[in-house]
Amino acid sequence: MSYAPHQALIEPARKQPALWRLIAGVGLIAAVYILLVVAWTGISIARDQTPMLANTQGATPQSALALLASFLCVFPGLILALWVLHRRRFRSLFGPWRHSLDLGLRVIPAGIAILLLGLALPGADLGDVLVNLPFSVWLSWLAPAILALAVQVTAEEVLFRGYLQSQLAARFQHPLIWLLLPSLIFAALHYSPAEAGANAPWMVLPAFAFGLLAADLTARSGTLGPAIALHFINNFAAILILAPGTALNGLALYRLPVEMSDPALRDQITVELGLMLLLWLAARLAIRR
């Protein structure tokens, strides 16, 4: 399978492919996002509510839901950048809608099967899995959590694999540029030395690998459907089923009480990378079929 389908995403980006426009667009998206998040936090303080986007790190259902939903703040700046700087529509980031949905649905069963396999594989000794929420409480939060998670993964995919990748591909022909650069930025945003300590450089490897594989699937399919589907499955498992560490675990059914700075986590990275490779291969087969 070649990258020829990627032209469906690149063609709208060719209207205004100048690199300065992309840089300005990223700055505009970041500025609008920050302003909206600050305003959201300010409103919660003015209403005498606990600031949901600060301090708690998503350790309660309310704060975890707020953190996921805050990714809505990505869309206004992105839509504005597309309209003002590139003269293209938001829907052009997804490729053909029906095709995107069809391929995304094809990938989901394969992705779930691989993740179930991952749960069965032995890993590093990271302690006992603990119940984080009673099942009835978890179930009561499940519907809004799924919706907020869909917002989060869609926001990241339209920004990195939709906007950045297609605009870079319209400017540079070599695939390594538009495959690697968005993936490196995506990984850098997962760099957290305050939380992971000496593990921080290692912990970005799975994020970089996922970004690269999602970029490849996007180019091979010409849609964001497969990347969004895999991202959703991955984050559903890590945020809603079994959450490691102390951050963003408020909506998880179970949690793994391990510090992200624990050296034992480095042994788990190899397993994660192996599962991502299997996910990618399964997704490619689903798309081809």
Q: In whole angstroms, what is the distance from residue 142 CA to residue 8 CA?
A: 35
In the 8-state DSSP scheme, what is residue 60? S
The whole-angstrom separation of Cα 256 and Cα 244 is 5
**What is the per-residue pLDDT for 282?**
87
Q: Render pLDDT for 90-117 as a digit per residue (tens, 0 to 9).
A: 999 998 888 888 999 998 888 888 877 7
Cα–Cα distance measured from residue 57 to residue 246, given in angstroms and rounded to the nearest whole number: 8
Q: How many domains in the chain?
A: 1
**Pairing between β-strand 254-256 and β-strand 242-244 as defined by DSSP bridges:** parallel
- Average pLDDT of 120-146? 83
Cβ contacts of 226 within 8 Å, gap of 6 or more? 103, 104, 106, 107, 214, 217, 218, 283, 286, 287
Torsion sign across C-alpha atoms 73, 77, 80, 81: negative
Mean pLDDT of 122-150: 86
Q: What is the pLDDT of residue 125?
A: 60
Secondary structure (H, E, C), 178-190: HHHHHHHHHHHCC
- Euclidean distance between CA atoms 29 and 76, whole angstroms: 8
Q: What is the pLDDT of residues 20-59, one digit of tens each?
A: 999 999 999 999 999 999 887 777 666 655 555 545 578 8
Distances (CA, A) of 288 to 106, 179, 281: 10, 20, 11
- In this prediction, residue 5 carries a pLDDT of 92
| Angle formed at CA 44 by CA 39 and CA 47, multiple of 5 degrees | 125
Q: Any residues with CB less than 8 A from the CB of 250 and at least 6 apart, and which?
A: 56, 58, 59, 60, 61, 62, 63, 64, 65
In Å, how far from its chain's centre is CA 129?
25
- The continuous run of DSSP H or E covering 130 comes out as strand 130-131
**Segment 221-237, tens digit of pLDDT:** 999 999 999 999 989 98
Is the per-residue pLDDT at 124 higher than 70?
no
Domain that holds residue 60: 4-288
